[in-house]
A and B are shown apart, each in its own frame.
Chain A
Amino acid sequence: MNILVCDDDREIVDAIEIYLNQEGYHVLKAYDGEQALEVLKTESVQLVIIDIMMPKLDGIRATIRIRESNSVPVIFLSAKSEDTDKILGLNVGADDYVTKPFNPLELVARVKSNLRRYTSLGSLNVTNNALFTAGGLCMNDDTKEVTVDGEPVKLTPIEYNILLLLVKNQGRVFSIDQIYENIWNEEAIGADNTVAVHIRHIREKIEINPKEPRYLKVVWGVGYKVEKQ
């Protein structure tokens, strides 16, 4: 698999190359947007990691150009950590957004996740009634199997039930009490932080970065939900 890494800071590119090589990917390097576009023209690339602030052609514009002809997954890598920056990046066609300084392991996990989704997309059988999905999250209620981007995830029965409740009711926010009553079938009298702890455990298992969850989101002071994907 060819991964194009593009950043004007050569050391960062080299470091990423080391990590990705260890995972068995082949890395193509570029140091500005124009070079990246050149590489894409000549080589077959399965994923692009690109910085935003670069000379000549910045990452945003480069991505727009890439998206004109190519649906390859694009991960932004930027020091800009504002919400607005992230939203802008995702809106121009990027699939993921990683802020600098990044955790190398997280980056690798995201790369894997995106590649799996990119390559296995469309092969998913959705006709099964017991199959519940939310983006890359997939729950099979018959086999009690949970996969994230195709990777199986092991959950305890309670964790599984909580997640299933949220996935079945995507978009709806459940408070701790409601979740408790649904799962334990008991009235919640002064519910404690049990549910919250379970939720955190689920997040740690299904999310790449539990602090910035993609699937199981926390609405602080209100409850939990799985975003409609």
Chain B
Amino acid sequence: MKKENEEKKDKKTRKKKKGALGTLHLLQHICFAGAACLVAVVLLSSFVTVEGRKEKETFFFDMGDTNAEFEDSMVFNKLLGRDISDIICYGAIRAQLETDGKFDPKKVIDVTAFDNRYSGIDGEYITARYYLEDLLKWAQYGFETEETYMTGEEADQFLSRTREVTYVEGNGDGGSYLNTDLEQKVRVVDVSGNVFSDPENPIRDNVTVNILKNRYHTVDGKNIEDYVSSWEEYTALRDHVQSAAEDLLINYNEYLTYQDYYDNADSNFVYFVRRTTGDQTDVYSNETVKNKSMNALTAQLQDTCSRYLIYDPQNMSFTTNTKVQEKTPRYVLNGYSYAYPDDTQILVGVKTGYKEADAFQTAKNAYSHYSPYLWQYLIVIVLLLGLYLLLMVVLTAAEGRAVTLENGEKKVLLKGEDKIPTEIMLVLAVLAGELLVISGYQGARLLKSVTGEFTEGRPLICSIALLYALLVSGCLSFFYFSMVRRIKAGTLWRDSLLAMLVSVSRRAGSYLYGHTNILLRVLIPSGAILVAVLISILIAYRSTAGTTAALMLILILAGICVILFLLRAAVGRDKILTGIKKMNAGDMNYQIPEEGLTGDNLVLAREVNHIGDGIREAVAISMKDERLKADLITNVSHDIKTPLTSIINYVDLLKRENIEDEKVKEYIAVLDAKSQRLKQLTDDLVEASKISSGNIVLHFERIDLIELLHQSIGEFSEKFESRGLTPVLRTKNGSAYIEADSRRIFRVIENLFGNVFKYALPGTRVYIDVEEKNSESGTLVCVSVKNISENPVSVSGDELTERFIRGDESRTTEGSGLGLSIAKNLTTAMKGQMEVQVDGDLFKVVLQFPKLEVQKETAQ
């Protein structure tokens, strides 16, 4: 019952958790969508579209203008700037088309002056004068020319004999366009007889020229050919007429739009353009002008407009309470300098009541909806995005957390989509992203066209943005959290196609490896490499540089792989070799580390380790056996010693009795000798077995072999003397240090000397030589003991060091037969070597120990 309850509880909490998680996800999407929606709102209200002169114009609000007055904002500035530029341009056109402030179709146009209005004109020039309406109509209709061939005479007929030259009194060297308008400055003079040396008999060439069809005539009712006396002059004038008319037509059309837009009573914008040419002062304005004087105009402007700008370049005066800078009117005015005399003033202003429905009013309304709320919007957006990121972090931590299953196992629960192979999921993610981007872009374009550059249907746009953001957020979460769960469950790699590929190829490889013989194992990979290289060469031979480079890269990479593989194999082999060497050197506990080894090397290492195990076991068993044997011998010797004690004691007691019988005395002597030998034998036996079983503890210290030999000879001096033996110690140095156990090394020497004492021919010399020898493993100290054997030695040197072997085989002499064996084993235990050489009767024992390098000073 309880368990069930708990389970229910568990499920409940899990459900709750799931619910909470779901809510968080939803919240996250809402945050993102809300932020997107607000961004849309901010973007949509960040610009204003106003009616322009020709088309709608869009102005973006400047972020820095927040909380600024509309009149101080950038958008006001831009609007005003646009208007200033427009009215200056308008003024220039008006000067061309109007007389006394009204459009004048009968205005006389000097085509050459007009056409050269930008560059200025020479003091004297040839021109034609037309009525404005004629030129406009002509341009509207189009200019027609005809390619005509003329003989000299015909040309003479066609062109005038004289030409009409206009002189303009200008300032400086040339006349300016402005002055051509002033009658008092223009002088028209007919010039004749200057063209030809003999006017009665002119000679002209035959030519082919484009003759303009004269649709309209000049104010004098003439045509252009009547003003010129040469073809050059004709073509120049013809072109001037044509381009002046075309320019005028363009300007006329502009003029109409300006007029429509600016000379309109329903405007919050007020302007006065005052220009004075000579005595004549014109004022262009959209207000009724009563007095053309500057003061009056200024007063009128300041009365009606609370924001204004007064620019008087001649007096270097610029007055404004707007943010428009002086350079704005200056630059524009410079562009139209031909139309404006130096004495020009620009006065503009804005009625800040914005009572009239115009661009300023529209912008003002939009601005008041945008500016005060921008920062609030931005803060909310940042907050929402921050919350979104926070939730991202929280959910990243929470998603795919391992849950404890009923059986106590911890497991990350995966969803259906998490089992799709990683790469497919990634491809899907990329596709989805691409789809979203494309649909977003196309959708935005569609919306733009439907909503008229986003000026209408703002709620619709915002809700579409919201839905789109939900979609984006959903997609992002779907893929992102799937990856998170994969990583946590550790299936990111496992469930990937690449992992499957690797696993399959590895399995195939290992199958190949396990089921083929060693020859194939080497042949298949190397054959594959060879074939790959050959194919690459073939491909490279027949392909472009790019492909070749790619192939080279692949080959190099493959080469690096092979090198790495070989390196790994070599390192592994080295490890094994080191291990084998160590084992060989006696370190039976060494195990070749199997980490990092693969393939054949791993197998090899395992086998070697197995051999090592086997040897170790065998050694352990044999050591144990030896020890048991030594223990047995020790115990047996104890048991022998007790009765032996009695034998020795009672033999001794017998010796003390006064026995007369020589025979009995002799018997007792034999008993005495043999019991003493038995004693020696048991002692030696125990020692020999202990040494050979490694059952002794050695205390290594620094030993001077020469000192030791002196001491030993001292010990044996009387024994040697008793047999007439003379020890001769020959040394090269005063000392020869080695590392050995003090008592054990004496035991070795004692046994050797004992041997000499027992078996040497009486009356001979015993040579003991100490010398140093260099070998691979360092300097060795050699001690050789040489003597002449009393009896022929019938066994080899090697055999003599075996247990119970004696040179005479008769075993009648004293000695256990263990002396040399003990000496040899002890020597070996002390890292030395002992060798017995028999050369006829010469008996030689050589001891070798590694020399201990010490300074003589420190030694003493």
Chain A contact residues, CB within 8 Å of chain B: 9, 11-12, 15-16, 18-19, 53, 79-81, 100-102, 104, 175-178, 190-200, 218-224
Contact = CB atoms under 8 A, between A and B. Distances in A.
A193 B717 contact: yes
Chain B interface mostly: helix
Given A219-B742, A221-B705, A222-B742, A193 B646 contact: no
Interface string B656-683: 0000000000000000000100010001
Interface in B676-703: 679, 683, 686, 701-703
Contact of A104 (B652, B712, B714, B718): B652
Contacts of B157: none
Given A18-B653, A219-B742, A100 B644 contact: yes
Contacts of A191: 710
Given A79-B638, A100-B642, A101-B645, A15 B711 contact: no
B860 interface: yes
A200 B714 contact: yes
A200 B646 CA distance: 30
B646 A9 contact: yes
Contacts of A100: 641-642, 644-645
A176 B644 CA distance: 39
Given A79-B638, A219-B742, A15 B707 contact: no
A70 B77 CA distance: 127
Contacts of B643: 9
A38 to B, nearest CB: 23
Given A79-B641, A193-B710, A12 B745 contact: no
B646 A11 contact: yes
> Which of A178, A191, A224 has its CB near the most chain B CB atoms (within 10 A)?
A191
A10 to B, nearest CB: 9
A196 B749 CA distance: 15
Contacts of A194: 714
Contacts of B645: 9, 12, 79, 100-102
**Helix, strand, loop or mixed for chain A's interface?**
mixed
A222 B734 CA distance: 13
A196 B642 contact: no
B571 to A, nearest CB: 47
A101 B707 contact: no
A196 B717 CA distance: 9
B800 interface: no
Contact of A220 (B641, B650, B653, B743): B743
Given A101-B679, A221-B745, A199 B714 contact: yes
Given A190-B734, A193-B717, A218 B711 contact: yes
Given A79-B642, A100-B645, A221 B652 contact: no
- Shortest Cβ-Cβ A-B pairs, 7 listed: A196-B714, A221-B703, A220-B746, A221-B708, A15-B649, A79-B641, A101-B645
Contact of B642 (A12, A18, A200, A219): A12
A16 B646 CA distance: 10
Nearest to B686: A81
A221 B704 contact: yes
A190 B711 contact: no
Interface in B791-846: none
Nearest to B683: A81
A195 B715 CA distance: 10
Contact of B742 (A16, A53, A221): A221
Given A100-B641, A196-B710, A220 B649 contact: no
B740 interface: yes
B714 A193 contact: yes
A218 B712 CA distance: 10
Nearest to B740: A221
B108 interface: no
Given A79-B639, A178-B860, A200-B715, 11 more contacts: A15-B646, A15-B650, A101-B645, A101-B648, A175-B704, A195-B714, A196-B712, A200-B717, A220-B712, A221-B705, A221-B746
Nearest to A199: B714
Contact of B638 (A53, A195, A197, A222): A53
A99 to B, nearest CB: 8
A200 B315 CA distance: 139
Given A15-B650, A191-B710, A220 B745 contact: yes
Given A175-B704, A221-B740, A104 B649 contact: yes
B717 A176 contact: no
A92 to B, nearest CB: 19
A59 to B, nearest CB: 13
Contacts of B650: 11, 15
A15 B714 contact: no
A193 B731 CA distance: 13
Contacts of B642: 9, 12, 79, 100
7 contacts: A102-B648, A175-B704, A218-B711, A220-B708, A220-B711, A221-B746, A222-B701
A221 B749 CA distance: 11
Contacts of B717: 193, 196-197, 200
Given A196-B714, A221-B740, A176 B707 contact: yes
Interface in B253-306: none
Nearest to A81: B683
Contact of A196 (B639, B675, B715): B715
A223 B742 CA distance: 10
B713 interface: yes
Indicate the member of B675, B710, B718, B729 with the most A CB atoms within 10 Å. B710
A209 to B, nearest CB: 14
**Which of B637, B650, B731: most chain A CB closer than 10 A?**
B650
A226 to B, nearest CB: 16
Contacts of B740: 221
Contacts of A192: 710, 729
B742 to A, nearest CB: 4
Contacts of B742: 219-222
A116 B707 CA distance: 36
A224 B711 CA distance: 9
B648 A222 contact: no
Interface string B613-653: 00000000000000000000000011101111111111011
B707 A221 contact: yes
Contacts of A101: 641, 644-645, 647-649, 675, 679
